[in-house]
Amino acid sequence: MDITSEMAYPTPLRNSPLLPLLLMTLATQRNAPRQSSSIKREYDYIVVGGGSAGSVVASRLSEEPCVNVLLLEAGGKKPPLINDIPALGRFFWLTDIDWQFKTVPQKHSAYFHTNQQVIWPSGKGLGGSSLLNAMLYVRGNKKDYDDWEAQGAEGWSYKDVFPYFLKLEDNTNPYYLKNGYHATGGPITVENPKYNPEIRGPIYESAQELGYKVLDSNAAQQTGFYDHQGSIRNGQRCSTAKAYLVPAENRTNLDIIGGAYVKKILFDGSRAVGVQFDYGNSEYNVRVRQEVIMSAGTTNTAQILMLSGIGPKKHLQKLKIPVVADLPVGNNFQDHCGFPVLFTFNSRPIKEKLQDSQNIHEYVNNRTGPLSSPEFVSAMAFLNTKGVYPREDFPNYELYFLEISKEIAKYQVGLHPLVYDFVYGPYENDPVFICVSHLLHPKSKGTVRLQSTNPYDPPLIDPNYYEDPADVEAIVKGMKTCLKIGKSKSMRKVGVKPFATIFPSFTNLLPDFILDRYLTLLAKSVVVTLSHQVGTAKMGDPRDPTTVVDPELKVKGIQGLRVVDASVMPIVPSGNTNIPTIMVAEKASDIIKDSMPCRTRYSS
Tell me the per-residue pLDDT of 337-346, one tens digit each, with 9 for 90 and over.
999 999 999 9
Nearest to 128 by CA among 199, 231, 8, 21: 231
Q: What is the DSSP string of 527-565?
A: -EE-S--B-TT-BS-TTSTT-SB-TT-BBTT-BSEEE-S
Classified as helix, coil or strand, 407 is: helix
Contact between 397 and 438 under an 8 Å Cβ cutoff? The reply is yes
Report the pLDDT value the prediction gives residue 1, as an integer from 0 to 100: 72
* pLDDT tens, position by position, 106-119: 999 999 999 999 99
Report the pLDDT value the prediction gives residue 604, as an integer from 0 to 100: 40
pLDDT tops 90 at residue 509: no
**For the chain, first and last CA: distance in Å?**
49
The Cα 179–Cα 197 span in angstroms is 27
Q: How confident is the model at residue 600 (pLDDT cuts 50, 70, 90)?
A: low
Contact between 346 and 7 under an 8 Å Cβ cutoff? The reply is no
* pLDDT tens, position by position, 344-392: 999 999 999 999 999 999 999 999 999 999 999 999 999 999 989 888 9
The Cα 89–Cα 11 span in angstroms is 9
Annotated catalytic residue, options 113, 228, 438, 532: 532
Active site residue 532: yes
Contact between 132 and 123 under an 8 Å Cβ cutoff? The reply is yes
Burial tier of 601 (Cβ tally within 10 Å: 0-12, 13-18, 19+): exposed
Contact between 471 and 355 under an 8 Å Cβ cutoff? The reply is no
Classified as helix, coil or strand, 521 is: helix
Q: Which residues contact 62 (CB under 8 A, 6 or more apart)?
A: 68, 69, 248, 251, 253, 254
* pLDDT tens, position by position, 531-574: 999 999 999 999 999 999 999 999 999 999 999 999 999 999 99
pLDDT tops 60 at residue 208: yes
* pLDDT tens, position by position, 434-488: 999 999 999 999 999 999 999 999 999 999 999 999 999 999 999 999 999 999 9
The Cα 22–Cα 19 span in angstroms is 5
pLDDT tops 90 at residue 598: no
The Cα 244–Cα 356 span in angstroms is 34
Share of the chain above pLDDT 70, in %: 99
User: In the predicted model, what is the mean pLDDT of the chain?
Assistant: 96
* pLDDT tens, position by position, 137-149: 999 999 999 999 9
Mean pLDDT of 48-76: 97
Report the pLDDT value the prediction gives residue 76, as an integer from 0 to 100: 87
Q: If you ran DSSP here, which 8-state letter would residue 91 be given?
A: G
The Cα 8–Cα 257 span in angstroms is 24
The Cα 573–Cα 188 span in angstroms is 20
The Cα 189–Cα 191 span in angstroms is 7
Q: How confident is the model at residue 601 (pLDDT cuts 50, 70, 90)?
A: low
Contact between 323 and 305 under an 8 Å Cβ cutoff? The reply is no
The Cα 550–Cα 415 span in angstroms is 40
Angle at 43 between CA 38 and CA 48, to 5 degrees: 85
